[in-house]
Chain A
Amino acid sequence: MLLVISILTLIPIVIWASIEPLSLRFLDVNTATTSIGQILGLAGMTLFSINLILAGRFKFLDKYFKGLDKVYVHHSKIGSLSFSLILFHPIFLVVKYLSISIREAGLFFVPFLNMPITWGIISLILMIGLLSVTLYINLKYHVWKLSHKFMILAFFFAILHVLNISSDVSRSNLLNYYILTLAFIGLAVSFHQAFLNKFLSKKFKYKIANIKELNENVAEIEMEPVKEGINFENGQFAFFSFQSEGVSSESHPFTISSSSKDNNLKITVKNLGDFTGLLKNLKLGDKVIIDGPYGNFSYNKVESKDQIWIAGGIGITPFLSMVKNLGSEYNVDLYYSVKENKEAVYLQNLKEISEKTPNFKFNLWEAKDKGYINGNAISDRSNGLDSKDIFLCGPPSFMESLKNQFLSLGVDLNKIHYENFSFFD
Chain B
Amino acid sequence: MKKLATVSLFIFGVVVTAILVAGLLIYQNKKDNQKVNSQTGNLVQNTINNITSTGKNITLDMTEISKHNKQTDCWMLINGKVYDITSYFGSHPGGNANMLATCGKDATDAYKTQDPYATSSGSRTAHSSRARNLLDNYYIGDFNQTIISNKKTTSSATNSTNVSKTDTQVAEGATTIPNNQPITTSGSITLSTAEIAKHNKQTDCWYLISGKVYNITSFFGSHPGGNSIMVSSCGKDATAAYNTKDPNATSSGSRSAHSSNAVALLNNYYIGDLNQTIGQQKVTETNTVVAPVTRGDDDGEYDD
A residues at B contact (CB < 8 Å): 19-20, 24-25, 27-31, 33-34, 38, 76-77, 80-81, 83-84, 87-88, 90-91, 94, 96-110, 113-114, 117, 128, 131-132, 135, 165-168, 171
Contacts and interface: CB of A to CB of B under 8 A. Distances in A.
A171 B98 CA distance: 8
Nearest to B137: A100
Contact of A81 (B4, B23, B72): B4
Given A100-B134, A104-B23, A106-B24, A80 B2 contact: yes
B27 A109 contact: no
Given A87-B8, A100-B161, A117-B93, A76 B1 contact: yes
Interface of B: 1-2, 4-9, 11-12, 15-16, 19-20, 22-24, 27, 31, 34, 38, 71-72, 89-91, 93-98, 100, 114, 128, 130, 134, 159-161
Given A83-B8, A84-B8, A166 B98 contact: yes
Contacts of A91: 11-12, 15-16
B19 A105 contact: yes
Given A106-B20, A109-B20, A99 B27 contact: no
A275 B128 CA distance: 52
B128 A114 contact: yes
A102 B93 contact: no
A166 B34 CA distance: 29
A34 B90 contact: yes
Interface of A: prevailing SS:
helix
Given A27-B90, A101-B38, A166 B161 contact: no
Of A38, A87, A94, A165, chain B has the most CB atoms within 10 Å of the CB of A87
Contacts of A106: 19-20, 22-24, 27
A168 B93 contact: no
B20 A87 contact: no
Nearest to B7: A84
Given A34-B96, A106-B23, 7 more contacts: A24-B71, A29-B90, A80-B4, A103-B24, A103-B31, A114-B128, A165-B94
B249 to A, nearest CB: 28
Contacts of B15: 91, 94
Nearest to A89: B12
B5 A80 contact: yes
Of A84, A117, A171, chain B has the most CB atoms within 10 Å of the CB of A84
A223 to B, nearest CB: 36
A98 B161 CA distance: 10
A27 B134 contact: no
